[in-house]
Structure 1
Amino acid sequence: MMGNLVKAESRKIITTKSWWILLIPSVAFALAFALFWGAITNDLNDYLGSSDARELAGLLGISLGELPVGLLALAHGVNIGTIFPIIFGVFALAGEYSKKTITTTFLTAPNRGSALTAKMLTYIGFGAIYGLVIVGAASLGTVLTVDERGLPTAGQWLGVLGAGILATVLATLFGIGVGAVWNSVVGSVITLTIWMLIVENVLVFVSFGWLDITWLGGVLPNGTLNGIVGAIGAEAFGAAGLSVPGELDEDLQWLLQYTAGAPGAFAWWVSAAIFLAWTMVFFLAGWAANQRRDIT
């Protein structure tokens, strides 16, 4: 029975335009941001090869001019792309309520729990597809702009691929949860976009600049989602997930994390665990709301 429900959900997605319409800008933004940051990071590697940065490089334990700065381009490309799997996830339930198709979905399943489980499994699969495509686009932008000496190793690239897929899968589930709680596509998309691209970034900058709080980005939803991939680059700088040399103050650590697209991040797996917690809060709240919500 579950297999048939998953097939039905897959067909429902494929026969609509939203999944590929959202895939197009996710590829475009991932590629554009990777191209932009790739061009910038080449200059960063040149700076790290200068005499002025020799002491800093020694503290970080890196070889001058050989830092895999391509990780920064990859991280920024993937991170901007993950906003679209979130929006895609919003359509899972909120979209069906707006189109009045949720009644058929619930009535053709043994119970609402089965219908929601089938949605979750189906959207996990599509979230993974988004991850593959977004990482591919960001990788292309990185290869086109980053000098060979700054490209990540094969192991680091595989790490970004795995982390990118994990991020987009969780982002999709997060979107499902928010849409299920809000029960409105427009309201969910506008709220999420404003929060994740504007409000949270302002909070992180204000907390760092005025309150001297460097960890806030490592616990808020957008910061933790970005940290899943961004912290891999930060770790290459020795600024996340590792013991930062005592000579480096928290401000410098935060700035290095910000350059990697993950201000406040602790480690990639910690970011994944915290964002998973955020995802479960909204997903379970949406699940509970839809067990009681009237569909007539």
Structure 2
Amino acid sequence: MTLLRAVSAEFLKILTTRLWWVLALILFGYVGFSAAAIAFFLSITPEQPGMVIPDDFLAPLVYSMATATGYVFPIIFGAMSITSEVRHRTIGTVFLATPTRSVVLAAKAVAGLVLGAVYGVVGLAASVGLGAPVLAATGQETLLADGDTWLMLGRIVLAMALWGLVGVALGVLIPSQIGSIVTIIAFTQFVEPILRTAAAFADWLGEVAKFLPGSAGDALVGASFFSVFAGTSGGVAPLEWWQGGLVLAGYAVLLGAIGAATTWRRDVT
């Protein structure tokens, strides 16, 4: 019952603040624009040498923009669910109401998973809702009658849920709000893209790069804009979808465990 009360309290805090729906609106606009733009330009642009996209891969590529460009949103939300309480010193009240810190952490993990899945649904509403009409208007197959497409959409929701959990774990490890956000932006927008681009030129680096968080997330989904244009080396086999899910979940567990054993145990002042 203590865990249920803690989870209920987490969702009450979430739903009474603006952060979750503001991020959802930004996510919808960002992903929707990206999906529509990619669908349009790849549909009308002649194929270039060395960049051939199979017809049955174009629609999944467009739909996967929900994670390819939107995965940073559940990470930020998950991290801020921890860091905002530390910054505003409300974490002390939380620990007074629920003295067992592991219960508090578990409740925040559940909230991160659920909100991540919600962001996955919002991202799909944008990528499919805006991308599919553009594909149809330009004479491309939408593949929405294909069962494999719907399985991929389900994996996108799962991937976004796991990204939310990674965000919570990162917030536990780096409780500074500025520090965690800078880390998220620096790694997702600069460090990992550079590493994955460099991996295209060396198989040994590709073997390492496929275990990066973004690569694992792409493997779980099964389609990614980044994997087509700047993915790992062509000589390196990507992870299976279930392997990608396990690797991504492993990052959440590892970061969370380190944070729980260090910063989460510190006295609250």
Could you tell me the TM-score, scaled by structure 2's length? 0.86
**Quick check: 89-98 or 209-218, which moved more?**
209-218
What does residue 179 of structure 2 align with? 187
State the 1:291 CA deviation.
Answer: 4.6
State the 1:136 CA deviation.
Answer: 1.4
Q: Does 1:94 align with 2:83?
A: yes
> Does the 8 A contact of 2:120 with 2:160 survive in 1?
yes
SS of corresponding position for 1:146: helix
Q: Return the match for 1:226 from 185, 202, 218.
A: 218
- Residues in 2 aligned to 1:160 and 1:211: alpha-carbon distance in whole angstroms: 27
Name the amino acid aligned to 1:266: L
1:14-25 equivalent positions in 2, closer than 5 A? 14-25=15-26
Q: Which runs of 5+ in 2 are unaligned?
A: none
1:53-72 equivalent positions in 2, closer than 5 A? 66-72=55-61
What does residue 227 of structure 2 align with? 258
* Bigger Rg, which one: 1
Name the amino acid aligned to 2:219: G
- Residues in 1 aligned to 2:170 and 2:63: alpha-carbon distance in whole angstroms: 27
1:1-296 equivalent positions in 2, closer than 5 A? 1-43=2-44, 47=47, 66-147=55-136, 149-152=140-143, 153-209=145-201, 213-229=205-221, 232-233=222-223, 258-259=227-228, 263=232, 265-296=238-269
- Residues in 2 aligned to 1:257 and 1:103: alpha-carbon distance in whole angstroms: 42
- Residues in 1 aligned to 2:99 and 2:88: alpha-carbon distance in whole angstroms: 22
- Residues in 1 aligned to 2:78 and 2:212: alpha-carbon distance in whole angstroms: 19
Q: Identity of counterpart residues, as a percentage?
A: 24
What does residue 241 of structure 1 align with? none
- Residues in 1 aligned to 2:104 and 2:232: alpha-carbon distance in whole angstroms: 38
| Deviation digits for residues 41-62 of structure 1 (CA, Å, limit 9, x no counterpart) | 3247x749xxx99xx99xx9x7
**Paired residues, number:** 261
Name the amino acid aligned to 1:200: E
> Does the 8 A contact of 1:226 with 1:262 survive in 2?
no
> Does the 8 A contact of 2:200 with 2:232 survive in 1?
no
SS of corresponding position for 2:56: coil
State the 1:40 CA deviation.
Answer: 3.0
State the 1:149 CA deviation.
Answer: 4.2
Give the aligned CA root-mean-square deviation in angstroms.
Answer: 2.8
Could you tell me the TM-score, scaled by structure 1's length? 0.79
